Chains A and B, each alone.
Chain A
Amino acid sequence: MLKILSLLLLIVSSKFSCAEKVLRMAVWGGEIPQSIISDFEKTTGIRVYLTTIESNESLIIKLNAAQKNLYDLIAPSNYYISFLKKMGIIQPLDAKKIPELAHLNKRFVDSSQPLYSVPFIYGASGIFYNKQWIKTYPRHWQDLWSQAYLFKLLLLDDTREIFSMALLSQKLSPNSENSQDILQAYQQLLKLVPNIKLFASDAVPRIITDEDANIGIAWNGDVVRAQQENHNIEFIYPDEGYILWSEEFAIIKNSQHTDEAYAFINFILEPKNSAEITKKLHFSVTNECAKDYLTPEIVNNKILFPNQETLQKGILQAPLNPEALKLYNNYWEKFKLSM
């Protein structure tokens, strides 16, 4: 018994042996392949402690409630960055320390503003359909309201995404804070009810692959994943606009490991490593040079890498004021209850 105990103590103590260089990160689960972390540890000798988060909100809770410098490097969604900036949680970045910045897709970098965050992957929500089962192909958001899709739609279980869809179908801004617009979108959504089959946002690739739903709104990455196992899936970016998001690295203010954080940002933005994210996890990456390391088949996949013209039609999600957010949530609950 004593022997087992001392052995266990040995294992535990080995876990706490102080490596000099550490980097503590919080990123969304499943967005960075394990191989990149291991390569980074091997080449730089920095020990990475990776925490996976499941939403932006839970990251904020953790950062606010616990010690503010719990992490060094975080990767929330783009619309959360301005919020974090306002709260003084993240520090401004030095563009000179990130040479790869020049190769990022211009759509996601606003060089007129001071740099607080660096995008590394992006995604969009559009319409998917299974061409084997759906005979009339949708072209616009408005088409989802068609009688042809009675009890067929898969909708993302996400307030902002669904309201954006409704707002865009009415030619309104998806970031609208106007109560009239929101009401109009809500009334539009009520008309959609007979067409809805299910809500989901977690197991979307499975639902699409197994043909449990053959048309609806989905994230492009999920559709690409589903395509690996079911070749009948198609995806379109509606012309009137669609929601774009990006996941962005930011460094926490007062971090003790700023240099290590920069090192990691540079490492993951290296074309070879960025390409790895696309290959393994099927996310669109912001570094244009990464395409040199991908097969033409992937580079030419219009779902994964839409052309610049399509990309310009995408609308980046913006933060909302609290009143508007509350209004959205109220209508969302009412909408869900009317199902």
Chain B
Amino acid sequence: MVEVMRLVVGRFSRRRHAEEVAEVAEPQSGGTLTPEEFRRIVEQRIRDRFDMSLTEFAAAFRAGKLDDDPAAYDLAVVSGASAR
């Protein structure tokens, strides 16, 4: 049973990793992404730039802690953190 579970977890982990790599890739053409696809891209950009989660980023932006970085405004607009 343990071996079976390891096998299942291993397959899931590999598939999950492959999916994550694919999921955060930028779209290959114009159009409208699903909310999930767009959220993953925004979260990835925030992680890459600020090493924060979406929630942490929104709190920091709204507290004025990222005012010095114009990229924060770009990500605040795409994420909705800047919305009133």
Q: Do A and B bind each other?
A: no
Residues of B within 8 A of A (CB): none
